[in-house]
A and B are shown apart, each in its own frame.
Chain A
Amino acid sequence: MGLNYYQIKKNVQSARKLVIRATNTAGSGHPGGSFSMAEILGCIFYKYLKYDPKNPTWEDRDRLVLSKGHAAPGLFSNMAIAGYFPESELDTLRKLGSKLQGHPDLKCPGVEFCGGSLGTGLSYSVGIALAGKIDEKTYHVYTIMGDGESDEGQVWEAAMTAAKYKVDNLTAFLDRNFIQQDSYTEKIMPLDENLDGDEPSEMWKDASRWKTGDKWRSFGWNVIEIDGHRIEQIDAAITKANATKGVPTIIISRTIKGKGVEHMEDNPQWHGKASDSDVVPIIYQELDSQFMIAPSIIAGDMTNLENEIKRCVTGRADCIHLDVMDGQFVPNQTFDHAKIKELRPLTIIPFDSHLMINEPVKHIRNYIDAGSDIITVHAEVCDESSFGEIHDLLKQNQIGVGLAINPDTDLPNWSYKFIPTLDQLIVMSVVPGKSGQKYIEKTHEKMRRLQHILIEHKFTGYIEADGGVTLDNIGSIFADGARAFVGGSAIIGQQDVRGAIREFRNHVMRSRRKILLDTANELGGSELVKKWIGLHVVGEKQDQIKKIAQEAKYL
Chain B
Amino acid sequence: MNPPEMTDMRTEYSKALIEIGRENPNIVVLGADTTDSLKISEFGKEFPKRFFNVGIAEGNLVSLSAGLAASGKISFASTYAIFLPGRAVDQIRNGVAYPSPPGKKGLDVKLVVSHGGLTVGPDGGSHQQIEDIAIMRAIPNFRVFIPADTFAVSKLTKLMSQEYGPFYMRMARSKTPVVHSESQDFQIGKGITIRDGNDCTIAACGITVRMALEAANSLKQDGISCRVLDIFSVKPIDAELLEKASRETGYIVTCEEHNIFGGMGSAVAETVSERYPSPIKRIGVQDMFGESARDNEVPLLLEKHGITSLNIANQVKELRSKKL
Contacts and interface: CB of A to CB of B under 8 A. Distances in A.
B73 A126 contact: no
B95 to A, nearest CB: 5
A154 B94 contact: no
A160 interface: yes
A116 interface: yes
Interface stretch (A105-113, A262-270, A437-445, A455-463): A105-113
Contacts of B66: 124, 127
B57 A127 contact: no
A372 interface: no
A128 interface: yes
B50 A126 contact: no
Contacts of B55: 157, 160-161
Nearest to B93: A117
A367 to B, nearest CB: 43
A36 B109 CA distance: 34
Given A117-B95, A124-B95, A161 B68 contact: no
A127 B70 contact: yes
Interface in B97-127: 98-102
Contact of B99 (A106, A125, A134, A157): A106
Contacts of A114: 94-95, 98-99
B102 A120 contact: no
B70 A112 contact: yes
A472 interface: no
A484 interface: no
Interface string B64-81: 111111111101000000
B187 interface: no
B150 to A, nearest CB: 29
A106 B141 CA distance: 15
Chain B, interface size: which category?
A: 20 to 34
B287 interface: no
A175 to B, nearest CB: 19
Nearest to B64: A127
Interface in A86-125: 105-107, 109, 112-114, 116-117, 119-121, 123-125
B102 A128 contact: no
B91 to A, nearest CB: 6
A79 to B, nearest CB: 15
A106 B94 contact: no
B49 interface: yes
Nearest to B50: A134
Contacts of B60: 123, 154, 157-158, 161
Q: Max chain A CB contacts within 10 Å: which of B65, B75, B99, B102?
A: B99
Given A106-B99, A112-B70, A134 B49 contact: yes
A135 B68 CA distance: 11
A127 B68 contact: yes
A165 interface: yes
B102 A123 contact: no
Given A126-B64, A127-B66, A132 B71 contact: yes
Given A114-B95, A131-B72, A106 B101 contact: yes
B90 interface: yes
Contacts of B91: 117, 120, 123, 154
B59 A123 contact: yes
B139 to A, nearest CB: 13
Given A123-B59, A154-B57, A157-B59, A131 B98 contact: no
A132 B55 CA distance: 21
A124 B28 contact: no
B7 interface: no
B278 interface: no
Contact of A126 (B67, B75, B90): B67
A154 B32 CA distance: 14
A158 B63 contact: yes
A94 B49 CA distance: 41
Nearest to A104: B99
Contacts of A63: 71
A157 B54 CA distance: 8
Contacts of A123: 59-60, 62-64, 67, 91
B71 A125 contact: no
Interface string B199-229: 0000000000000000000000000000000
Given A132-B71, A134-B73, A154 B64 contact: no
B92 to A, nearest CB: 11
Contacts of B70: 106, 112-113, 124, 127-128
B52 interface: yes
A120 to B, nearest CB: 4
A130 interface: yes
Contact of A127 (B59, B71, B98, B100): B71
A157 B49 contact: no
Contacts of A165: 52
A205 B98 CA distance: 40
Contact of B52 (A130, A153, A157, A160): A130
Contacts of B69: 127
A123 B49 CA distance: 18
Contacts of B64: 123-124, 126-127, 130, 158, 161
Interface string A21-58: 00000000000000000000000000000000000010
Nearest to A165: B52
Given A57-B101, A161-B60, 6 more contacts: A123-B59, A123-B67, A124-B66, A127-B70, A154-B63, A160-B55
Interface of B: 28, 49-50, 52, 54-55, 57, 59-60, 62-73, 75, 90-91, 94-95, 98-102
28 contacts: A105-B99, A106-B101, A106-B102, A107-B102, A117-B95, A120-B59, A120-B91, A123-B62, A123-B91, A124-B67, A125-B67, A126-B67, A127-B68, A127-B70, A127-B75, A130-B64, A131-B28, A131-B73, A133-B49, A134-B50, A135-B71, A135-B72, A154-B63, A154-B91, A158-B63, A158-B64, A161-B54, A161-B55
